[in-house]
């Protein structure tokens, strides 16, 4: 019940901060960063100067009209600054929270010799605690070693070289559930500012002070390290060109009006203030004011999804991606094989298979083992037996035997890989029948994993372990296919298994028996064909492929090498996040395109509002264009510039939130964009300017 007031307070604080920053951004150096709004800024200064001159009778328009135009132009600049400031404000708020998590702490520094000695100590943790040198975390450098125990903060980014620990990463990810980090493998990286909850670790520093992952996050979320993307630069060049064109047109119109006034033997009705207002209204000020906010908001949406983009270019590239390389395990499937069926062979019954498999799995704490116990209970209500005092001997799984089981009540019960069990039973005089071989082959062909169950060297049957495809993933892939994005599954499975899972999940293609080299070769091949490729990875062996991909999402739980190779880091370490990243990237491009279309379409209506009102007295032939029939040139100009300012404010929520994303083809999106934002951008100004003209006339302002 209290979340809404708290959220409202946060938004209020954000808005107040943005209002203050809008005035701070009035500095010429800040305005020069946006050439289009720089021209509005200069126009506001010019009209203010004209107002001062008008007070001394040196002006060609009434002081009240000039100051009214000047005020509206200053508001236009402030509204543009506000749009950018409120977009940046989200990042600054998150950066403040991250800074609170970033603080210097005392570190237990070690050297290589101490680590080697500690590895052989009876109590390594106590040895390291006594022998370590206490130093401030700010002086730690790359390759230094330090020791962290339970309830201590990790002082710097690094790779675990010894030990394992439960780590609270909520300061970085926002997730309260602790994670396991351990030496070796792909989950050895730790981040400075996180806290060890249990056990201990020895860590080698991978980033100097000021260049840590937390420092990079702070810089990116507050846009301090944000550079304009190629698409932004290209659009900005177009907007500058249009602005120059309209500047030339406005100056030329003054010459034409002076010539027309001379021909009609009358004073020139077109004032400098009017032409300045005309120039501002015709220039693409709407998109010029919102362009920066759109880009910042796009990165902010990624931050809210717990993804750190190392560059704005990566966010845009995500919008252009048309090939997705996705790991099977954890992305397409749940990552743990589940028992789905007991298949009896050679005269055994299904219940016998279930009973033996359940006994062999009672002490098996793997997800596969637990799923066998659950399936036996669901199918036959076989419950765990009391084993104390029964003389049960557990036979653990080893890489050599590839089997596990129990010796129980005078019986040898085993479960394991098909070829391992085959060798085991044949070595004890048992038989591997053709019926059993066919069951194994059928399961493998269907994409599953066969697990043979034996009792006293006789094969009773096969447990069908199945990779469970995630719920809803097939619909996700169908949406991506509609958008023209090709999905490619990467797996280390054999081609037969890979083909079965790919068909069930609905992916377009697959790469079986994948190695780091095949991943890299596949990305290069797709890029050579002109595709934009995205992929995820978490291991050191993924680094070459991540470095090659256009959009490379490294898992925060992964190795430092993977994070350095990627251009995005998923703080949640969820491989399926890649789908969300692509949608956010496409939404960014859609938002920019939609608002650009709307802005340019706006100029058409403003043209019909101002040009006829200004020049009909000089060129009566222009009456044919006077379709709005505004009250007077002054009300027409005031209505247009007021609308020009207010529309920026009205579009700020859309720029920040983004145009609603829809899975559709590029052609259908373009058609919808032209209808909604093109046609809407023409119709809305006609209505709004006419209403403003009526209001100004009614109030007698102009």
Write a three-state SS string for 484-545: CCEEEEECCCCHHHHHHHHHHHCCCEEECCCCHHHHHHHHHHHHHCCCCEEEEECCHHHHHH
Say which residue, 520 or 331, is predicted with more confidence: 520
- How confident is the model at residue 299, as a pLDDT? 79
Residue 330: its pLDDT value, please? Answer: 65
List all residues 6 or more positions away from 257 whose beta carbon is below 8 Å from its beta carbon: 268, 269, 270, 614, 615, 618
Residue 545 has pLDDT above 80, yes or no: yes
Q: What is the per-residue pLDDT across 201-218, written as a single tens digit (0 to 9) for each?
A: 999 998 887 777 767 767
pLDDT tens, 611-648? 887 777 777 777 777 788 888 888 888 999 999 999 99
Can you tell me the mean pLDDT for 317-322? Answer: 86
pLDDT of residue 461: 93
- Please write the tens of the pLDDT for every residue from 467-479: 777 777 888 888 8
Phi-psi map region of 633: left, alpha, beta (phi>0 left; psi -120 to 50 alpha): alpha
Look at residue 203 in the predicted model and tell me its pLDDT.
92
Q: Lowest-pLDDT range, 17-21, 43-47, 174-178?
A: 174-178
Q: What percentage of the chain exceeds 90 in pLDDT?
A: 20
Can you name the residues that pair with 393 across neighbouring β-strands? 407
pLDDT at 259: 66
Which residues are annotated binding-site positions? 364, 368, 397-404, 415, 538, 542
Region of poorest pLDDT, from 36-40, 262-266, 564-568, 637-641: 262-266
Residue 384: per-residue pLDDT: 62
Per-residue model confidence (pLDDT) at position 497: 77
* Candidate ranges 184-193, 429-438, 464-473; pick with highest mean pLDDT: 429-438
Q: What band does 84 get if pLDDT is binned at 50, 70 and 90?
A: confident
Phi, psi of 537 (to 5 degrees): -170, 160
What's the mean pLDDT in 245-251?
A: 86
Classified as helix, coil or strand, 605 is helix
Residue 368, pLDDT score? 83
Ranking 30-44, 450-464, 585-599, 667-681 by mean pLDDT, the lowest is 667-681
**Any idea what DSSP says for residue 398?**
-
CB 459, CB 453: distance < 8 Å? yes
Region 586-603: what's the mean pLDDT? Answer: 89
Query: Over 60: is that where the pLDDT of 226 sits?
Result: no
Band of pLDDT at residue 146, cut at 50, 70 and 90: very high
pLDDT of residue 57: 79
The per-residue pLDDT of the chain, averaged, comes to: 83
In terms of C-beta distances under 8 Å and separation of at least 24 residues, what long-range contacts does 386-395 make, across chains too? Answer: 387/362, 394/363
Most confident of the ranges 71-75, 110-114, 481-485: 71-75
pLDDT at 387 over 60: no
- Count the residues in the chain: 702
Tell which wins on pLDDT, 372 or 219: 372
Per CATH, the homologous superfamily of domain 337-468 is: Calcium-transporting ATPase, cytoplasmic domain N (3.40.1110.10)
Q: What is the pLDDT of residue 70?
A: 93
Domain covering 322-332+470-571: architecture: 3-Layer(aba) Sandwich (3.40)
Is 93 a residue whose pLDDT tops 90? Answer: no
Inter-residue contact 537 to 545 (CB < 8 Å): yes
CATH 2.70.150.10 correct for 107-211: yes
pTM metric for this prediction: 0.70
| pLDDT above 70 (res 158) | yes
- Given a cut of 60, whether residue 702 has pLDDT beyond it is no
Which carries the bigger pLDDT value, residue 538 or residue 172? 538
- Predicted confidence (pLDDT) at residue 166 exceeds the cutoff of 60: yes
Q: Indicate if 337-468 has the same CATH topology as 107-211.
A: no
Among residues 619, 633, 606, 631, the alpha carbon closest in space to that of 62 is found at 633
Specify the pLDDT at position 147: 92
- Alpha carbons 282 and 610: distance in angstroms, whole number: 10
Known binding residues for ATP are: 364, 368, 397-404, 415
Could you give the maximum distance between any two Cα atoms of the chain, in Å? 122
**Residue 124's pLDDT is what?**
86
State pLDDT tens for residues 1-43: 334 444 555 567 778 888 898 999 999 998 998 899 999 999 9
Highest mean pLDDT pick, 381-385, 493-497, 520-524: 520-524
**Helix, strand or coil, per DSSP, at residue 358:** helix
Q: Where are the domains of the chain?
A: 4-93+222-303+583-699, 107-211, 322-332+470-571, 337-468
Give φ, ψ of 33 to 5 degrees: -70, -20
Which pLDDT band, with edges at 50, 70 and 90, does 437 fall under? very high
Average of per-residue pLDDT across 71-95: 85
**349 is written with which tokens?**
């019954």
- 528 versus 368: the higher-pLDDT residue is 528
In the chain, what percentage of residues exceed pLDDT 70?
88
Of 309, 306, 156, 305, which is closest to residue 220 (Cα–Cα)?
309
Catalogue the active-site residues: 327
Please indicate whether residue 459 or residue 15 has the higher confidence score (pLDDT).
459
Supply the pLDDT for residue 699: 82
Chain centroid to CA 344: how far?
48
């Amino acid at each position: 019940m209290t979340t809404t007031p708290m959220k409202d307070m946060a938004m209020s604080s954000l808005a107040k901060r943005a209002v203050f920053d809008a005035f701070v951004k009035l500095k010429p150096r800040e305005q020069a960063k946006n050439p289009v709004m720089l021209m509005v800024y200069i126009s506001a200064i010019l009209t203010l100067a004209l107002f001062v001159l008008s007070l001394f009778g040196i002006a060609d328009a009434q002081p009240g009209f000039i100051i009214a135009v000047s005020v509206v132009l200053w508001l236009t600049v402030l509204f543009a600054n506000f749009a950018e400031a409120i977009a940046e404000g989200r990042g600054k708020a998150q950066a403040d929270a991250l800074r609170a998590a970033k603080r210097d702490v005392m570190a237990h520094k070690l050297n290589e010799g101490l680590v080697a000695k500690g590895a052989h100590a009876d109590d390594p943790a106590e040895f390291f605690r006594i022998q370590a040198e206490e130093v401030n975390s700010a002086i730690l450098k790359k390759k230094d070693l330090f020791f962290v125990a339970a309830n201590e903060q990790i002082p710097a980014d690094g790779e675990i070289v010894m030990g394992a620990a439960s780590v609270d990463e909520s300061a970085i990810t926002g997730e309260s559930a602790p994670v396991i980090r351990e030496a070796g493998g792909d989950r050895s990286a730790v981040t400075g500012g996180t806290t060890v909850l249990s056990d201990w670790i020895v860590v080698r520093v991978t980033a100097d002070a000021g260049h840590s992952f937390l420092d990079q996050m702070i810089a990116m979320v507050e846009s301090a390290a944000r550079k304009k993307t190629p698409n932004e630069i290209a659009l900005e060049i177009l907007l500058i060109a249009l602005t120059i064109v309209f500047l030339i047109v406005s100056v030329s119109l003054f010459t034409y009006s002076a010539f027309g006034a001379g021909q009609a033997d009358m004073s020139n009705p077109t004032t400098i203030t009017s032409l300045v207002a005309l120039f501002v209204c015709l220039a693409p000020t709407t998109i010029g004011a919102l362009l920066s906010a759109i880009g910042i908001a796009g990165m902010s949406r990624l931050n809210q999804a717990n993804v750190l983009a190392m560059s704005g270019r990566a966010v845009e590239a995500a919008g252009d991606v048309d090939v997705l390389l996705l790991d099977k395990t954890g992305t397409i499937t749940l990552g743990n094989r589940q028992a789905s069926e007991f298949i009896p062979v050679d005269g055994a019954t299904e219940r016998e298979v279930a009973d033996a498999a359940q006994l062999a799995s009672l002490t098996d704490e793997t997800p596969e083992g637990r799923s066998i116990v659950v399936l036996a209970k669901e199918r036959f209500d076989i419950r765990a037996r009391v084993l104390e005092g029964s003389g049960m001997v557990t036979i653990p799984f080893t890489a050599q035997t590839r089997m596990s089981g129990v010796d129980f009540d005078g019986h040898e019960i085993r479960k394991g890989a098909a070829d391992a069990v085959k060798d085991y039973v044949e070595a004890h005089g048992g038989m591997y029948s053709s019926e059993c071989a066919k069951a194994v082959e059928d399961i493998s062909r269907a994409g599953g994993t066969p697990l043979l169950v034996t009792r006293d060297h006789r094969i009773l049957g096969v447990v069908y372990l199945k990779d469970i495809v995630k719920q809803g993933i097939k619909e996700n892939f169908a949406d991506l296919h509609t958008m023209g994005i090709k999905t490619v599954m990467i797996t280390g499975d054999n081609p037969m298994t890979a083909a079965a899972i790919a068909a069930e999940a609905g992916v377009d293609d697959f790469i079986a028996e994948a190695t780091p080299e095949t991943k890299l070769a596949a990305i290069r091949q797709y890029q050579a064909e002109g595709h934009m490729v995205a992929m995820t990875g978490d291991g050191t062996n993924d680094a070459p492929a991540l470095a090659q991909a256009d959009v490379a999402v490294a898992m925060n739980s992964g190795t430092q090498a993977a994070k350095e190779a990627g251009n995005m880091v998923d703080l949640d370490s969820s491989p399926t996040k890649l789908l969300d990243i692509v949608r956010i990237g496409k939404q960014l491009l859609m938002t920019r395109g939609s608002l650009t279309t709307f802005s340019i379409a706006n100029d058409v209506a403003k043209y019909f509002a101002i040009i006829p009102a200004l020049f009909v007295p000089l060129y009566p032939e222009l009456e044919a264009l006077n379709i709005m029939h505004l009250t007077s040139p002054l009300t027409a100009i005031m209505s247009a510039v007021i609308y020009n300012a207010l529309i920026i404010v009205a579009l700020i929520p859309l720029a920040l939130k983004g145009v609603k994303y829809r899975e559709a083809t590029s052609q259908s999106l373009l058609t919808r964009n032209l209808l909604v934002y093109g046609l809407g951008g023409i119709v809305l100004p006609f209505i709004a300017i006419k209403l403003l003209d009526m209001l100004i006339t009614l109030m007698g302002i102009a």
